[in-house]
């Protein structure tokens, strides 16, 4: 008896791709996407609208699919006031919805199984259609031929973009999906913020929202100007659950750069990243037993201070408070068993 495996987003998207012939895939990536869709998926129609007129509903991109608006044909409506790469991705995403409703209806059961509820299944369908569109524009063969088993670098993202027909965002997502270690592909735009971030599966749900600020002293904040390799960076800087990683950056043009973060350095160096020191480790502290001598040796975890190089004492050790001298009335050091301070003893000979 054959045991049915639990469906995944990848398995559903892969099954959906099987409904698109190789020659159709070529036309979808090279011809105008609306014309290619109408030619190969008739009677479906495609209609361009200003982005403000797009009723996205649960759809997460600049378009939506209407199977019941017209009894004669289903329609794809898409925004025409965005970049052409975005238009292509949007239309192919909506083709995924069309296939699920018409020729791949058996996959709807997998969506229900994976989602567990109607609302969750709708969200899973969005992710599947994203993966479907991304795989059409950036095929697995392209990824394997460009990256192979190498550690991902910004040059790989650029090469995939040049060889494929996808937007920078779609390329970032597809390249991040190939990463076998914890990592992410970050697109940098004007301003010291995250333009877009696609995290690898090893990052779990720790995603970096678009528009998040960058560490002003980190390599990503310099990414629009400098090519950098294996520099320490803080993923999710300033947010909950930040993570220290290695970062490579590559400027593309004045308003775009690609950054790749990974827990493994791309230059093959040691995978050791020093966590930023707590504030208490940056204070200068001096030994009470040896005035003027800074405590700058090792650390005491109990008092959060360093030790004196002369006596090894830390902040846990404090000298006994000197008593008031009955002779001069000052709180000066006193010899054990003496009735006056050392200064008075010296003055009296």
In whole angstroms, give the CA distance from residue 106 to residue 101: 9
| pTM, rounded to two decimals | 0.67
β pairing state of 256-262 and 243-253: antiparallel
- The confidence score (pLDDT) of residue 272 equals 62
d(CA 58, CA 122): 8
Give ranges for CATH 1.10.10.2910 in the chain: 9-137
- pLDDT bin (cut points 50, 70, 90) of residue 10 is confident
8 Å CB contact between 96 and 128: yes
* Residue ranges, CATH 3.30.450.130, the chain: 140-262
Helix axis angle, 9-17 relative to 84-102, nearest 10°?
Answer: 90
Residue-averaged pLDDT of the chain: 83
Long-range contacts of 252-255 (CB under 8 A, 24+ apart): 252/158, 254/224, 255/189, 255/190, 255/224
Residue 2 confidence class, pLDDT cut points 50, 70, 90: very low
The class of domain 9-137 in CATH terms is: mainly alpha
Residue 227 scores a pLDDT above 60: yes
- pLDDT band at 201, cuts 50/70/90? confident
How many residues can be counted in the chain? 349
Task: Look up the CATH number of domain 140-262.
Answer: 3.30.450.130
**Per-residue model confidence as pLDDT tens digits over 42-89:** 889 999 988 766 665 555 578 889 988 888 899 999 988 888 888 899
- Tell me the pLDDT tens digit for each residue of 211-225: 999 999 999 999 999
Range from 4-18, 28-42, 93-107, 318-332 carrying the lowest mean pLDDT: 318-332
Residue 258 burial (C-beta neighbours within 10 Å; 0-12, 13-18, 19+): buried
């Amino acid at each position: 008896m054959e045991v049915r495996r639990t469906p995944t987003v990848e398995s559903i998207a892969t099954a959906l791709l099987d409904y698109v012939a190789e020659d159709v895939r070529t036309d979808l990536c090279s011809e105008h996407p609306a014309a290619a869709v109408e030619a190969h998926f008739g009677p479906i129609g495609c209609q361009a609208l200003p982005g403000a007129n797009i009723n996205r509903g649960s759809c997460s991109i600049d378009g939506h699919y209407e199977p019941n608006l017209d009894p004669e044909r289903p329609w794809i409506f898409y925004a025409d006031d965005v970049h052409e790469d975005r238009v292509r991705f949007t239309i192919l995403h909506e083709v995924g919805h069309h296939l699920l409703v018409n020729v791949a209806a058996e996959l709807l059961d997998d969506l229900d199984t994976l989602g567990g509820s109607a609302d969750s299944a709708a969200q899973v369908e969005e992710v599947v259609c994203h993966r479907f569109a991304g795989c059409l524009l950036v095929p697995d063969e392209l990824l394997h031929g460009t990256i192979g088993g190498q550690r991902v670098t910004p040059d790989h993202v650029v090469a995939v973009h040049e060889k494929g027909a996808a937007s920078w965002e779609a390329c970032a997502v597809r390249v991040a999906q190939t990463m076998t270690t914890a990592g992410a592909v970050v697109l940098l735009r004007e301003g010291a913020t995250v333009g877009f971030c696609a995290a690898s599966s090893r990052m779990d749900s720790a995603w970096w929202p678009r528009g998040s600020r960058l560490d002003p002293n980190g390599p990503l904040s310099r990414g629009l100007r400098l090519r950098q390799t294996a520099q320490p960076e803080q993923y999710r800087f300033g947010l909950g659950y930040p993570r220290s990683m290695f970062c490579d950056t590559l400027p593309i043009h004045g308003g775009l750069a690609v950054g790749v973060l990974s827990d493994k350095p791309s230059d093959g160096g040691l995978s050791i990243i020093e966590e930023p020191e707590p504030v208490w480790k940056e204070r200068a502290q001096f030994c009470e037993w040896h005035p003027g001598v800074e405590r700058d040796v090792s650390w005491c975890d109990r008092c959060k201070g360093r030790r004196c190089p002369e006596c090894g004492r830390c902040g846990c050790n404090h000298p006994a408070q000197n008593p008031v001298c009955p002779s001069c009335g000052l709180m000066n050091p006193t010899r054990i068993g003496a009735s006056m301070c050392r200064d008075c003893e010296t003055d009296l000979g």
